[in-house]
Amino acid sequence: MSRIALVNARVLVGESLREGFAVVIEGGRIVTICDETALPRDCTLRDLGGRTLLPGFIDVQVNGGGGVLFNNAPTVDTLRRIAEAHRRFGTTGLLPTLISDDVAVMRDAIAAVREAIAQGVPGILGIHLEGPYLAAARKGTHDAGKFRVPDEDEIALAASLDNGVTLLTLAPECVPDATLRAFATRGVVLCAGHTAATYEQTRAGLDAGIRGFTHLYNAMTSLQGREPGVVGAALEDRDSWCGIIVDGHHVHPASLRVALAAKPRGRLVLVTDAMPPVGADDPSYTLYGETITVHDGVLRNAAGALAGSALDMASAVRNTVAWLGVTLEEAARMASTYAADWIGLGDVRGRIAPGHRADLVLLDDGLQVVETWIDGASIRHSG
């Protein structure tokens, strides 16, 4: 196998962006990072023109993209189109997200993800089941008619993906602690979301195996003086991860800065909650039979509830730098490293380091995506 050496770039290695380093790729992995003056023999050089090389973005909440919604067509072709659409914006790994639906749709979605991973569809890392074990009081755009408590058969189904990650968003007050433990024992990454839980109920859920919070602040009980709610539990807990949507619509930047101050470093993760308009010319899509259209960058259903987002990960990174006062290096880690750690893939993805998958994104001076690599295979997008 030929070795490719990526040279002449600012490379995120460890804590900082560094110049003069080469990233050597072979067989889909990073084999070494070395001084450009000490390259191994027999390398094919790729000059990156002084641009910025980061770990490829990992998005754990992607409902759709490229004009298609996973719920509406849970197939391998849909997954391929979604992944291709988001790759243009630097996302090299994602969890296609199925929002609350019937058992048959869940079964089809899990089967499609299993087959996509088996076929090697670039970028598909597993599945995010957002529901249907949620609270009607915080349903957002979900169809409460789909909500239910999982029985043994459904626990087995939701945990049945055997070749990828399964992340499951649920309301801890709606699911018995024994069921939470059953999911966690089966390797499911549990998150609290669309929940009306009290602080005490949320703490009990964390004790039973919940490891994260889905779109922090949205569709959950807020932090108040005498009732900390889900948000208070999320901000207080040192070990859990929180997904945040930095689009200027879901959460005020000041609230996100509070979360940054409260949570330990490495526990806030950028997500998009993206819908079909991302990477598509059509600003509309259909959800539960209702047509939803982007207006001024916002997606809302007829009831006024936010219906996902039109955000992409490259924009999320730019917004995080501009609005939250963090460095590009930290924003990049929030878009890649910390997500990989959350879903248990931090030893192989989310970092530019020897032994890791060669999943990379190249940005120009305006932080626009120029090129991506997945398992060492490159696609140039612009520039």
Read off the pLDDT of residues 100-119 as tens digits, 9 standing for 90 and up.
Answer: 999 999 999 999 999 999 99
- Mean per-residue pLDDT of the chain: 96
**pLDDT score recorded for residue 40:** 84
Confidence of residue 295 (pLDDT cuts 50, 70, 90): confident
The answer, as to whether pTM is greater than 0.85, is: yes
- Structural domains of the chain, ranges and CATH numbers in brackets: 3-54+351-380 (2.30.40.10), 55-342 (3.20.20.140)
Nearest to 219 by CA among 251, 176, 246, 187: 251
Span 286-307, mean pLDDT?
A: 86
Lowest-confidence segment of 24-33, 74-83, 304-313 by average pLDDT:
304-313
**pLDDT score recorded for residue 307:** 87
261 by Cβ neighbours in 10 Å (0-12 / 13-18 / 19+) ranks as: exposed
Catalytically active residues are 273
Alpha-helical segments (H) within the chain = 76-87, 103-119, 152-158, 177-185, 199-207, 229-236, 253-262, 313-324, 328-335, 337-342
Span 276-304, mean pLDDT?
A: 89
Distance CA 338, CA 228 (A): 25
**pLDDT score recorded for residue 62:** 98
Q: Is the pLDDT of residue 1 over 60?
A: no
Span 327-332, mean pLDDT?
A: 98
Lowest-confidence segment of 10-24, 146-160, 277-291, 336-350 by average pLDDT:
277-291
**pLDDT score recorded for residue 219:** 97
Q: Is the pLDDT of residue 383 over 60?
A: no
Whats the size of the chain, residue-wise?
Answer: 383
